[in-house]
Structure 1
């Protein structure tokens, strides 16, 4: 797949199908983009589970923070990655180890790694890179 251009129906299909999102790199700081995006996704009816080892056990937007994906006690449909590009491969490895696996790994603006994307797709996980669901959602659905 070309990860430098996505068809609107690919993105809207993902945003319509996912219900539970693990947000890696979640921050309690309201000035951080991950905090704003988490709040936006919650306001659109998604269940968002924050993941950040430094905040584990605390709460962000009223949701309990987990240290890593494997610690989340339920399945997730999508992993939203607010980590630098060099960490995307590790997040993909964590996602591939989950049972059941998430449907999607979504890497935020500025986050991309073609090898990690290929690995995720080989494991049956859809990938979006260098995009923000909080930008795509209102663009696609108004």
Structure 2
């Protein structure tokens, strides 16, 4: 599946590492996605239970009461493998795992692909969406 197809088909995004700080990329990109009609959920243990600029926040992926379709990761590369493992334990299978610029983890990519996830790595979802909007 191409990036264009992913962004046209899937509209529910969990932003892992979401921040309530407007100067952080995870914050501004989440708001961008919301502006363009995506349903966005923030995932950050410190923000669980809060609503930040209209974005409902949760401590973990498993707490989100909806079936997300894209897991967009704004964390250090070392944190990606545990996130893939967490996605594998959900009661449903999110179709796409996406890591932002500079976030590369070979083991996480391999595990995700072996388990049938689409995997987009080292790409900014805002930049990619702006190419097709």
**TM-score range normalised by the length of the shorter chain:** over 0.9
Matching residue of 1:88? 80
- Compute the displacement of 1:99 (Å): 2.0
C-alpha separation between the residues in 2 aligned to 1:99 and 1:132?
Answer: 27
Tell me how far apart the structure 2 counterparts of residues 13 and 82 of structure 1 sit (CA, whole Å): 22
SS at match of 2:94: coil
Name stretches of at least 5 consecutive residues in structure 2 with no aligned partner: none
Cα deviation, 1:32-91, whole Å, max 9, x if unaligned, reads 000110010001100000000011111122122100001111111010000000000011
The residue aligned with 2:95 is 103
Q: Name the residue aligned to 1:47.
A: 39
1:16 maps to 2:8: yes
**For residues 52 and 113 of structure 2, what CA distance do their matches in structure 1 show?**
30
Alignment: residue pair count:
133
2:119 pairs, out of 127, 130, 136, with 127
Alignment-derived partner of residue 74 in structure 1: 66
Cα offset, 1:92, TM superposition: 0.4
SS, match of residue 53 in structure 1: coil
Q: Which runs of 4+ in 1 moved over 4 A?
A: none
RMSD value, Cα: 1.0
TM-score scaled to structure 1, two decimals? 0.90
Question: TM-score, normalized by length of structure 2?
Answer: 0.96
Q: Tell me, which stretches of 5 or more residues in structure 1 are unaligned?
A: 1-8
